[in-house]
Amino acid sequence: MIKRSFFKSKYLPYLLIFPQMVVTLTFFYWPAIQGIFQSFLLSDPFGRRSQFVWFYNYIELFTDPLYLKSIFITFTFSIAVAFVSISLGLFIASMANRALRAKALIRTMLIWPYAVAPAISGIMWLFLLHPSYGIVALGIKKWLGVNWNPVLYGSDAMVMIVMASAWKQVSYNFVFFMAGLQAIPKSLIEASAIDGAGPFRRFWTITFPLLSPTFFFLTVMNIIYSFFETFGIIHTVTQGGPGGSTNILVYKVYQDGFVGLNLGSSAAQSVVLMSLIMVITFLQFRFVEKKVQYSG
Amino acid sequence: MVEKTPLLDFFTYAFLILGIFVVGFPIIYSLIAATLPLEEVSKIPMPLIPGDQFMVNMKEAWSRGNLGAQILNSFIMASGITIGKITVSMIGAFSIVYFDYRFRIVIFASVFCTLMLPVEVRILPTYEMAANVLSPLQVLWDFLHLDSLISWFSGHDISVTLNWCLLDSYTGLILPLVASATCTFLFRQFFLTVPEELCEAAKIDGASPMMFFRKILFPLSKTNIAALVVIEFVYGYNQYLWPLLVTTNPKMTTAVIGLQNLIPQADDLPEWNLALGAAVLVMLPPVLVVLFMQRWFVKGLIEKEK
């Protein structure tokens, strides 16, 4: 789309878009092409010789049980993070929306974890859930009777990174649910109250359905968050361990590429991730975006 | 609300206070840990009464983690990304919305395609790119056999290597993250809502495009810019993967990554008081930015993501 009234100039528009094109080409398109090209190559770890092998890297990848496990782990992890953080975010937001007093203060107290770096969230939860010093770990051991040890047990480590990742994301979801809740017309709520619906009934029959676009949108955003931005958490907290039980796809790309120097495989994994992101983006624009009704 | 529900109201506030407490707990607990001496912090369970060692711990963490230099690095990186992104994308969007030219659609589509691709999915090739930004030109050079061409012309053996390495530099930390379509897209959406009459009037008054941009478009975009400043600063400051790859020199490390060195490992003394004190200190700048610019932050977050 363009404005009905616009400027005419021979060189100026190109000059203005030039910086954007330069960064996009050098840091998106060229690396992406390089990555796709590299994913068809098999090279020795020093990068001296390489051989064109067609889809060998991809076949290797999808027959590698470690990679399949990593896919499974990533999906488990992202669904858990999305579920925990969205339900908590919705719960707190609907409470905050009910509150009549101190609204601004409540909002302030709830949004700041968004600004905490994932890696720092990881450090704090590492301490809270530390098998010998952590106070939360102590509580788990005492009250739930679980022999908690994320250093040894994969499932415990998974719970730990889910907590560290979801904690930070609660405030993100909170902001969006608050905006969504405030956009719901008061008259609807009042009308149903006059018809005799109580607060809970109103929530489930009016508020919740009207929030569904926000809900879909947040599901997508939270899954993308847990796919990529949680790298810092994995790297500080578990390093993919114990025994690869928290080795999510992004971390595996890093490990295989930069630590293991298996360049072809790492490139193939990048391409798989890129296609995955494109599918998610496409789905979002195609199906979610249309039904969304944001503030207004 | 609509009707009086004293019991539910009570639970509302009770849950809110509980929620605020749960959300704040990791930080409060870390702060308490940061005030305790080593013997206290490694007690099981750690006492919940703050000690008096806060300044001592902070000083030790500050010097051991080299936090001063690292926070400065993070600041430079975050500001660079913020300023770079906003400048590049604002003039880019201006070009896309307010001019009609041949490749407009192609250019817009090519930028739009990169909308959702985070740096994480293309780390290795982007790293190689940063190791030598001129490598595409080198490929072109070699492809055209310019070496032998020049040798043939000049009669000497000449070989040209184009190399510009961004590793371990601020440029390397900043530039690859400046490439982002989200801001361009946001400014485009905003410019499209600016009334046509303004541009019309400016043209009648004989204003040049840049004059229109400076005198009308820029002042109108101020709230959008403020919102983006908050979001991008937080984004830049909290980057993890990219600085981890690009910097090998400890002097260039950013604060969020440097913290890793302070985490006690299995065989170390459990000096969690230092690690957590440093963590709280490092998280402070973006948290303060969000708290003090809350209004713009919420606006920016909601507009950017939709």
CB contact under 8 A, B122 and A170: no
Q: Domain for residue B1, yes or no?
A: no
Whole-angstrom distance, CA of residue B32 vs CA of residue B42: 13
User: Bigger pLDDT: B131 or A235?
Assistant: A235
ipTM of the complex: 0.85
**Of B97, B129, B305, Cβ closest to residue A221:** B305
Probe site for chain A from B5, B238, B261 (most A CB atoms < 10 A): B238
What pLDDT shows up at residue A294? 42
What chain A residue is nearest to B194 in terms of C-alpha separation?
Answer: A3
- For residues B100 and A2, the answer to whether their CB atoms sit within 8 Å is yes
Domain ranges of chain A: 57-291
What's the mean pLDDT when you consider all of chain A? Answer: 84
CATH at B186: 1.10.3720.10
Domain of residue B79: give its range: 6-305
Considering the entire predicted model, what is its pTM?
Answer: 0.87
Structure tokens at A247: 């080795």
Choosing among 3.40.50.300, 1.10.3720.10, 1.20.1050.40, 3.40.1190.20, the CATH entry for A57-291 is 1.10.3720.10
Alpha carbon of A194: minimum distance to chain B alpha carbons (Å): 9
CB contact under 8 A, B294 and A278: no
What chain B residue is nearest to A216 in terms of C-alpha separation?
Answer: B306
pLDDT, tens digit, 9 for 90 and up, residues A134-174: 888 888 888 887 888 888 888 899 999 999 999 989 999 99
Q: Domain for residue B85, yes or no?
A: yes
pLDDT, tens digit, 9 for 90 and up, residues B60-118: 888 887 888 899 999 999 999 999 999 999 999 999 888 888 888 888 888 877 776 77
- CB < 8 Å to B129, chain A: 26-27, 30-31, 34
Alpha carbon of B49: minimum distance to chain A alpha carbons (Å): 14
Alpha carbon of B187: minimum distance to chain A alpha carbons (Å): 13
Q: Pick the range with the lowest mean pLDDT from A191-200, B39-48, B257-266.
A: B39-48
What chain B residue is nearest to A168 in terms of C-alpha separation?
Answer: B23
**Of A9, A124, A274, Cβ closest to residue B121:** A274
What chain B residue is nearest to A226 in terms of C-alpha separation?
Answer: B120
Whose CA is closest to A23, among B116, B177, B243, B102? B177
**Of B133, B196, B305, Cβ closest to residue A26:** B133
**Of A9, A117, A231, Cβ closest to residue B209:** A9
Alpha carbon of B109: minimum distance to chain A alpha carbons (Å): 11
State the total domains in chain B.
1
CA angle B133-B137-B142, nearest 5°?
130
Alpha carbon of A6: minimum distance to chain B alpha carbons (Å): 5
**Of A17, A115, A171, Cβ closest to residue B96:** A17
Alpha carbon of B155: minimum distance to chain A alpha carbons (Å): 31
- CB < 8 Å to A32, chain B: 117, 122, 125
Q: Domain for residue B276, yes or no?
A: yes
pLDDT, tens digit, 9 for 90 and up, residues A29-70: 888 888 888 888 777 666 667 777 788 888 888 888 989 999
pLDDT, tens digit, 9 for 90 and up, residues A79-138: 999 999 999 999 999 888 887 777 888 888 888 888 999 999 999 999 888 888 888 888
